[in-house]
Amino acid sequence: MMVLRAAEMGMCFGVRDALAVLDAVAAPMDVTIHGELVHNHQVLDDLAARGFVQSDEQARPVPATPVVLVTAHGVSERERARLTAHGKRLVDTTCPLVAKAHAAAQALQAEGRRIVVIGRQAHVEVRGIVEDLRDPIVVGDARDVRCWSEPRLGVVCQTTTQATLAEAVVDAIRAANPRSDIRFVDTICSPTKARIASLDVLLPLVDGVVVVGGLHSNNTKQLAARVAAAGVPVMHIENAAGIAGKWLRGKRVIGLTAGTSTLDVTIDEVERALRGAACLT
């Protein structure tokens, strides 16, 4: 069996930069990570073992530590103000591309538009964007679109949204709101687009695709969904332990890709395990 890697996959620069900041912290026990740094249990377990405190990103209690690290997913200005009002020093690792999404939403609102965010309602990145907006709307897909009777609408995306999904939602918004002045700003991040494009190149060449990444990771689930939508068998796993030998049977060429919070070492371990499992099937 042959294993073909996608040309672009795995950890993005935003996550790498955040991890590099944490690696330089001398006193981890003085730092609370504000929510999940990444949707990757291996990374989160390692951070906890090193002494970092990790807060509940839904409840968001005021951290007891003097330092709070803002993750690559970012937070709202309102949340920053809340934390600093309690005397916390912030270490900001917000991905620059997430910051651009915040800025785009604010700029559209400044034009007098009601903002529509394409993304997952409960996702930490979306929460950070909408908390600074007046009466925002969040839509997960075209089925959530309504006629909002707004004269002006501004549309942005969660950075890990699939381009095809964004296009479908924007088309639905225009169709449902024909009298509105609608402006769409594409805030999908370049790593997400690159990973999708690389996966599309891989799909015609393989008998199945293994997608490596957190089972709750939005961008990883999108990769798996894209494979399934193309009619190609897909196995979404978090690490090598999740490989199902039965799934591999009869497949001569396996594609390999990974979400933006997946460690290089995890991808390498999965590839080695796939090659080893092929000898047993």
Please state the φ and ψ torsions of residue 7, each to the nearest 5 degrees: -65, -35
Location of structure tokens 């009619």: 231
How far apart, in whole angstroms, are the C-alpha atoms of residue 50 and residue 46?
6
Virtual torsion, Cα 199, 201, 205, 209, nearest 10 deg:
0
Rg (CA), the chain: 20
Q: Is 8 a catalytic residue?
A: no
Mark 42-68 as b/e (b = at least 16 C-beta within 10 Å): bbbeebeeeebbbbebeebeebebebb
Catalytic residue among 125, 150, 269, 271: 125
Whether the CB-CB separation of 267 and 274 falls below 8 Å is answered with no
Catalytic residues: 125
